[in-house]
Structure formats: C-alpha cells, structure tokens
Amino acid sequence: MNSSSNVSKIGPAAVIGLSAALLGGCYVLESAEGQLALMSKREPIERVIERPSTPPALRAQLEQVKSIREFASRELGLPDNGSYRSYADVGRPYVVWNVVAAPEFSVDARLWCFPIVGCVSYRGYFVEHRARAFAARLRAQHFDVSVGGVAAYSTLGHFDDPIINTMVGWDDIELAGIVFHELTHQLVYVPGDASFNEALATTVEEEGVRRWLLAQGRDADLARHRVEEQRYLQVIALLRNTSAELRVLYASNVDAASMRARKRAAFRNLSEAYARLKATWTGHAPFDEWFRGELNNAHLASIGTYYDCVPGFERELAAVHGDLAAFYRRVRELAALPQSARDAVCTTP
C-alpha cells in the first residue's frame, strides 16, 4: 500500500492516511489506548540522534527527516508544527491495520462515519488480531474484505505525529513523499471527501518530491523516481480498468452464479495482465506482494480515491504557474464549495 514503496500509499487497504480508529464506534476505548501508547513513545528527533546507542543507519535517516521536514514548511508552505519532529518505536512492523470491505457484487467500499474525519472507507486497528477478527465478522456477512498493515500514520494535526520505526526501512525519497503527503492533509481536509483529500495530498507529494530532488541536484534520482511512478500508474490503470469492467458486470441482470464466474475471470485476467506488464520492466516491480494474494472487490475499492482527482489538481497547479501559495488558496476555495463543484475539478478536462 510492498511496505516500502509506492504500494504503501494505497496498498491492499488504502494504507497511509488517517486512522479512523481514533474516532467513534464501539472500539473507541481501544483506539484511544492505542493512540496514547503511540504518543507516549515519542522522543524529539534531536535527542534520538544525539544518543550514543542510536544505530548509525537510523541516525542518518533521522538527519534526513530533519532536512525534509524543514523543506516541507520552508519551500512547500506546509504546516510548521510539531508533526514529524519526533520519533517513536512501537515495536511492531505496522502501526495500524486497516480493514476495507465491499459487497460481493460491488467495487464501492463500505463506509464508516466518524466525527471530524467524516465517512471513510476503512476501519483502523492498533492491534492486528482485532483487525482480523473484525474482518472475519465482515466475511461472515458475505463482504469481500482486505486487511492491510499501515506503516505511516496521520491524525490530521490533532496530535504531533511522529516518524515511526515502521517507516525507517524506506529510502529518503519515500520518506519525503509521505511527510509532504500527510502534512498536506493538515493544511486542507474536507470531512467525508476522500477523493478530494487524497488526490490533493498526492499532487502536493509528487510536486514536493520533484522540487526537493531538484533542490539537491539529484537529477538521476528524480529520473529513477519518475520511472517508478510511471510503473505505479500503469498498475493503477490495470486496477481501474478491472474496476470499471466489474462495475458494468455488477450492474447487469445476469444470475448470481454467472456473475461470480465472470468476477473470478476478471480477477484472473487482472493477475495475468500484471504479469505481462511486469515482464517488460527491469528492477523494482510495485504491487508484487499485493498480487501474490487472492484479489477481491475490497482491493479495488480504494484505488480511485487517491488518483481520480489528481489530473484536476495538476491542472489547477499549472494554472497558477506552480505558485503553491496561490494553489493552496484555490484549493481552500474549492474545499468550501458543495461536493458537486469539487467533483467537477476531477471531471473537467
């Protein structure tokens, strides 16, 4: 959502993003306990860097985080606050596990609604077995379900979010991207409009990474990053094509048995198309781990959330000639408009 690269952005369960686990629902006490436990483990990055026992690799990575964090506020106009200025080791491979569910014959995720964040297409758990138990209950109700570990984490600025040990296996480009992405959520966030929020954060993330690498004279790294992003978008196109195909199938009047057979064939064709695409690449192949498992509607349900509106935001940024301050003003204007007007940003060529 491959936990160390592009898949970690959306992964099998729309990983990286808000933790709806913080808010509402019958699991609010467990979620509050998980949040408090995470916050209690924070230490200022400077202190971790100065500690003699800190491993050299971690020290070097946290030095990079400091530079990335300063660039985010100084050059990108992102919030200058306490987020990503501390470090927390939670002692596990993921900080949260997200559960996504979709009906047997739908590629639209089930929504859960909470205060502040509005309606989101997943439920997050700080404890893996609780996520899997909830997933099992949903499967018993005949939902397609996916469970995905979340390596990065944001509370929309309600807390000073730390860099977490689950993120330190990433390279500095991936770290920069997630810091830029999550700080954008703190800048502008529309409750209940995941497509708007995630596409905006993705747009700023990519523009931020581009500017960050150029500022360091890392043209070769930028070229490699663009190749990886292009591969990622190729896979996204496959997923979205399958989603569109299934949407037509599920709206048809064929009987349930035939629909199930054609659904299985669509997912089989998707896996085969990915294998053919992967054969044309050398080096890193995003989504490899994702395709090793059994795919279902829940895996497709969140794909559009991150990318449907990205072209629209890119047009808005180009219209102000890359002036991020002007772009943010425009985004805030859009955020205040009705849903239909925001949606027009995605659909207007």
Domain of 189 in residue numbering reads as 7-308
Q: How far is 80 from 206, CA to CA, in rounded Å?
A: 19
Q: Tell me the pLDDT band of 8, cut-offs 50, 70 and 90.
A: very low
Host H or E run for residue 147: strand 143-150
pLDDT at 12: 30
Contact 16, 8 (CB under 8 A): yes
CB 2 within 8 A of CB 288: yes
The order of strands in the sheet holding 163-164 is 43-44, 86-88, 163-164
Residue 341 lies in a domain: no
Q: What is the pLDDT of residues 304-344, one digit of tens each?
A: 666 778 889 999 999 999 999 999 999 999 999 998 888 88
Are 136 and 166 within 8 A, CB to CB?
no
3-state secondary structure of 65: helix
pLDDT value at residue 141:
97
Calculate the alpha carbon distances from 190 to 104, 111, 118, 346 in Å: 29, 16, 8, 15
pLDDT tens for 94-128 read 999 999 999 999 999 998 887 666 777 888 899 99
> Please, are residues 220 and 212 in contact by the beta-carbon 8 Å criterion?
no
Q: Is residue 319 part of a domain?
A: no
Rounded CA separation 347/151 (Å): 32
* 222 CB neighbour count, 10 Å cutoff: 18
Q: Is residue 201 part of a domain?
A: yes
53: phi then psi, degrees, rounded to nearest 5: -80, -5
Q: Give the DSSP letter string of 7-51.
A: HHHHTTTT-SSB-GGGSSSTTHHHHHHHHHHHHHT-EEHHHHHH-
Whether residue 328 lies inside any domain: the answer is no
| Nearest one of 8, 300, 260 to 146, comparing CA atoms | 300
pLDDT digits (tens, 9 = 90+) for 212-256: 999 999 999 999 999 998 998 899 899 989 999 999 999 998 999
Q: Is residue 336 part of a domain?
A: no
The arithmetic mean of pLDDT across residues 74-94, rounded, is 95
**Both tokens assigned to 199:** 């596409």
206 is a domain residue? yes
Question: What pLDDT does residue 11 have?
Answer: 37
The residue ranking higher by pLDDT, 287 or 315, is 315
251: in domain: yes
Residue 315 included in any domain: no
- Among the residue ranges 14-28, 138-152, 292-306, the one predicted with the least confidence is 14-28
What residues have CB less than 8 Å from 193, skipping those under 6 apart?
A: 118, 339, 342
The total number of structural domains that make up the chain: 1
